[in-house]
Amino acid sequence: MRITLIHNPGAGRQGADDALRLERFLRDRGYDVRYQSSKEEDWKKALKKPAEMIVVAGGDGTVAKVTRRMVGRGIPVGLLPSGTANNIARTLGLLERPFEDLVRGWQQGRRVKLDVGVAKGPWGERYFVEGVGAGVFASLLANPAAKSFKQRQNAVERALERLKSHAAQCEPIELFARLDGKDISGRYVMLEALNLRYVGPNLHLASDSRPGDGNLDVIMITESERGRLMYYLEHWQENRERLAVLPTLRGRRFELEWSGFPLHIDDKLKPTPKAQRDEIAGPVEASLDGDTVEFLVPA
């Protein structure tokens, strides 16, 4: 089988030597491998070349950017999770399994559909995999110091500590929002429309979410629920599968009146530093419209 391997040599604790070992590992198991580093510009062109399967070795950032480009292609994707949080792989049930088991499982694996959402706003339109939201996550992402944790040891635990500190202090913001036409406006510490069960530093926020179920899980944290969020964050390390049990609604179309406050679409922050004036405010819509990508999951 001919596969295109998109590999992030900087994910997790990997180094340049891991690229050669990974390519050899797949060739030894009978795959015709076309290798492409995600750090190089040609990775987008590599996805357009003939292949029976796309394999992604990296973390959530690499997996998400490949997934967004595989919509409508009809080519299955296999994951070799090697990042820090690996929320996409965790949602698909692929973590804590040796690469050998994952690769062997591709031959008779199930094809699991993962929804890919569409976010529309004054800047245009783009796909998203993880979610769209305002409040704690977005304002933390807007802080340049947050990026310094990505390359450190125990990055997930460090990110959680920073998140806890920020969640305890951040001011609620007045948000005008609707879900499937229903008014859900209010003053929110966090308002997130999620497509994955796990987000951020492995937070298990959307317990009812299932890959490909066609629904967004909208997490709604007002000032009165801040204590519940803090309790969850304080006890997360005792059990990473602990459910957050936070106020949640499910729907397909999330609308938000955006006035220029920090807003994230997956790991991208809006507004960007170079945004034009007409790109900074206006209506924003995040929806699931039937776009999916199929992942190979061992039976």
d(CA 16, CA 34): 17
* pLDDT the model gives residue 159: 85
295 lies in some domain: no
List Cβ neighbours of 240 (8 Å cut-off, separation of 6 or more). Answer: 202, 204
165 lies in the same domain as 111: no
269 φ, ψ to 5°? -100, 135
Number of domains in the chain: 2
* pLDDT the model gives residue 145: 62
280 lies in some domain: yes
152 lies in the same domain as 206: yes
23 lies in the same domain as 111: yes
What three-state secondary structure class fits 56? Answer: strand
d(CA 170, CA 261): 13
d(CA 8, CA 175): 37
49 lies in the same domain as 163: no
226 lies in the same domain as 163: yes
Number of CB atoms found within 10 A of residue 202's CB:
19
Average pLDDT along the chain, 299 residues, taken 10 residues at a time: 92 66 92 94 94 96 96 95 92 90 92 97 96 95 63 72 92 97 98 94 89 96 94 77 80 97 95 89 96 94
Strands 32-37 and 186-194: unpaired
Residue 150: which of 201, 87, 81 has the closest Cα? Answer: 201
* pLDDT the model gives residue 12: 55
In tens, the pLDDT along 206-249 reads 988 999 999 999 999 999 999 999 999 988 766 656 666 899 99
Q: Of 96, 115, 134, at which residue does a domain stop?
A: 115
d(CA 66, CA 44): 8
Crossing angle, helix 17-27 and helix 99-106, to 10 degrees? Answer: 40
* pLDDT the model gives residue 149: 45
* pLDDT the model gives residue 96: 84
Q: Of 115, 131, 164, at which residue does a domain stop?
A: 115
- If residue 248 lies in a helix (H) or strand (E), which one and from where to where? strand 248-251
Q: Of 115, 145, 166, at which residue does a domain stop?
A: 115
Range of the domain at 26: 2-115
Residue 261: which of 285, 287, 286, 282 has the closest Cα? Answer: 282
